[in-house]
Amino acid sequence: MAERAFSVSRLPGFGAVAITVLVLLYLPIVLLVLFAFNAGPSPAVWEGFSLQWFPRAWANEQVKDATIRSLIIATAAAVISTSVAVLAALGTTRRKRTGGQTFVYLMINQPLMVPEIVTAVALLILFGFIKVATGYQGLGYLIIAHSAFCIPFAYLPIRARLEGMDVTLETAASDLYATPWQTFRHVTLPMLAPAIIAGFMLAFITSLDDVIISLFVKSAGQDTLPTYMLGQIRRNFTVEVNAISTLLLGLTVVMLTGFFLLTRNKD
């Protein structure tokens, strides 16, 4: 009788451990969404169903300002980081392997490996020197910081797509006297577009959700939506925070679903 292949799902207690992990991961999120529709002001006592907290949150001028600011920063950071990621991915895949290429790959992905608090402190020191020298206090610092942090999130899906693409069409275009720019524009870019959009989505969500770097880099009056929510929790927690969190969660789910649909393997 042939032995069955080993499967971790058949180990004793696997089901119980899996269920426990899922409950610990998702029960807090379910409760947060549930209490966003609470009729009362308590974040822990259910008093009936109501949608009142969503219009109240939107009527709050501070929430509006923080939301608009977050969207501006996230969009700019996503555009910049995705553009840099495309160039970096092309530079690390469409060339012969040379010494030091692994080091370049590690440097591109450095924000993923270094603790975010270290990156935040380093940027705080750097931007402190620039602020003293120039006197500039605008959103540019947040955009630059978010862009640098988001590059690897955009780079990884774009690089993966390039590595999985057949270079035959690019070679054929070159054989037909297409310039490198023409080859990129008419052959590489159309095939790479889904990965670019997916990388943009990941960078956008990463920037929109960031707290640590934003806290260290922002100047007075430059609260993003996550830092505003953190401040509200410290001062006076209201169900408005649940409503805002629910909307952010919904946006994140939509963006990540789009990322999955764009990057899944197709026949």
pTM of the model: 0.80
Strand partners, 38: 49
**Rounded Cα distance, 178 and 223, in Å:** 49
Q: Are 218 and 142 in contact (CB under 8 A)?
A: yes
Name the percent of the chain lying above pLDDT 70. 93
Coil, helix or strand at residue 94: coil
Q: Domains of the chain, with CATH numbers?
A: 12-50 (no CATH), 60-263 (1.10.3720.10)
pLDDT at res. 99: 66
Q: What is the distance in angstroms between the CA of the first residue and the CA of the last residue of the chain?
A: 37
**Rounded Cα distance, 40 and 50, in Å:** 8
Would the pLDDT of 103 be above 90? no
